Amino acid sequence: MKVLASNRKARFEYEILERTTAGIVLTGGEVKSIRESHAKIQEGWVAFEAGEAFLADVHVPPYENAGYATHDPTRRRKLLLAKRDIIRLASKVAEKGLTVVPLAIVVEGNWIKVELALVRGKKLHDKRETLRRRTLDREAAAA
């Protein structure tokens, strides 16, 4: 499993409660652009509409060698999830303070997939604790 894009900011900003993997509907130019690791998923989130899940605010720039017919870089892309997974995640997102964000875009075989996480925002003191713990681990490894 090769990671093409990673959302390191999400691991710091949010407390990860649950992870899942979903397929994604892409055009040919988007696939080529993502395979060159040009996607930016830091601002991404998942929207639930009419029983379907969509990946929003993910920037995939047009493929450099594409012709004149290019895609919209920030369009909503449909996620391929089982209906029961969509219902389960949508009901949890309806709770206060929970959302679904992309953690990474990966290649599994020939398929491009998105690792999603159900998350809750961290408080400022939790972020400071994370930084403090990271610093202590780094110092312990250096010693």
Query: For residue range 65-113, what is the model confidence (pLDDT) as tens digits?
Result: 876 767 788 899 999 999 999 999 999 999 888 999 999 999 999 999 9
CATH of the domain at 10: 2.40.280.10
Q: Is the pLDDT of residue 28 over 90?
A: no
Domain of residue 31 covers: 2-142
Handedness of CA 73, 6, 136, 16 (dihedral sign): positive
If one counts the domains in the chain, the total is 1
Handedness of CA 28, 32, 33, 37 (dihedral sign): positive
Q: Is the pLDDT of residue 19 over 80?
A: yes
Give the start-end residues of each E strand in 10-50. Answer: 14-24, 45-49
pLDDT at 11: 85
Whether pTM > 0.85 for this model: the answer is no
More confident of the two residues 73 and 41: 41
